[in-house]
A = this chain, B = another copy of it.
Amino acid sequence: MQFAGSHILSISQFERADVERVFAVADNMEPYARRRRRTRVLDGAILGAMFFEPSTRTRVSFGSAFNLLGGEVRETTGFEQSAIAKGESLYDTARVLSGYSDVIAMRHPVSGSVAEFAAASRVPVINGGDGSNEHPSQALLDLYTIKAELAGRGRGVDRLRIAMLGDLRYGRTVHSLCKLLGLFEQVQLVLVSPTELRMPAEIVETLKARGHEVVESDTLEASISHVDIVYSTRLQEERFTTREEADLYRGRFRLNQSIYTAHCEPNTVIMHPLPRDSRENARELDDDLNDNPNLAIFRQTDNGLLVRMALFALVLDVVDQVDACSTPVTWYTGRREL
């Protein structure tokens, strides 16, 4: 894959070597994301952050990543008041707005809209989520986190053992993660969901065809007993016929510290794409896991910065100049590693 000048629209653009290239660049971003050094490699470049659907987390992550490379950010949020809402075509919007920036990060509620926008854009576009379709930087940061969490243990993504929990039918993040995992070797997946919310069959078949091992289940305890990663997702109540049915499943997929201690191998990593629900009857991961050092959910969001910095550096072709434009950081950074 040729990164310079390319749109990043779908994880299906990525071969294994491309993923590894992104991760190698992301590794090099760590001193900048951790504020040990400052780089100005994108001094003067402008990110157009077009969030036609709200998303605090993803929007701020893209924006901060661009700032950390020395660039500026011009944001647009909301939709109702936009020219699109007044009948302007995505083609016109893309032609105009791409004239104001050097790269665009875009979220839009309609599946396929980001690709349509990108086709008319005069600068590279990174998909920040188009409806239920794609959110490639999330899948990349998830896999990057898996790799980083396991690194200290002398293991890699090849031969990974992972359990995915929750709504596997509609969850965009688990679909994308499965596709990325499929690029590696001998992954063992335990897919834990209510029967009506199972992983789509074609994703399962593709994984199996590539030699991966896939087991499906609808109970938690046994499924999480022999894995490296437990990847939990939100179980959406509205997917069920009755509330009683939802409650039934919720109890089965809710992870807390006592279940973790009783059933997981030591140092099993816990992940979640966030936000996790904190309301009593809707929790996927209990608060008593917050002190568990294997809870990696905030390392995931931290890694999102590294991955997005890497994507920007790659599409704007400045990977080799990042370090040369850098200086030490002089302000207070003491709390960050907490």
Q: A residues touching B (Cβ–Cβ < 8 Å)? A: 4-5, 35, 38, 40-46, 48, 54, 56-57, 59-61, 63-64, 67-68, 70, 72-76, 81-83, 86-89, 91-92, 95-97, 99-102, 121-124, 274-279, 282, 287, 290, 297-298, 301-302, 305, 315-318, 321, 329-338
**Across-interface contacts of A97 in B (CB, < 8 A):** 56-57, 60
A88, B315: Cβ atoms under 8 Å? no
Instruction: Identify A88's interface contact among B43, B70, B277, CB under 8 A.
Output: B277
Question: For the complex formed by this chain, how many copies does it contain in all?
Answer: 3
Q: Which 5 A-B pairs have the closest CB atoms?
A: A89-B278, A38-B44, A54-B81, A88-B275, A83-B275
B318, A330: Cβ atoms under 8 Å? yes
Instruction: Identify A305's interface contact among B42, B91, B99, B124, CB under 8 A.
Output: B99
A331, B305: Cβ atoms under 8 Å? no
Instruction: Identify A100's interface contact among B64, B70, B88, B332, CB under 8 A.
Output: B64
A96 to B278, CA, bound (A): 15
**Across-interface contacts of A86 in B (CB, < 8 A):** 275, 277
Q: A298-B99, A318-B330, A338-B122 are in contact. Are A87 and B277 (CB under 8 A)?
A: yes
Instruction: Identify A60's interface contact among B74, B297, B330, CB under 8 A.
Output: B74
**Across-interface contacts of A297 in B (CB, < 8 A):** 92
B302, A331: Cβ atoms under 8 Å? no
A74, B83: Cβ atoms under 8 Å? no
B46, A64: Cβ atoms under 8 Å? yes
Q: A74-B73, A82-B56 are in contact. Are A335 and B124 (CB under 8 A)?
A: yes
Q: A99-B305, A101-B64 are in contact. Are A317 and B332 (CB under 8 A)?
A: yes
A64 to B86, CA, bound (A): 23
B96, A83: Cβ atoms under 8 Å? no
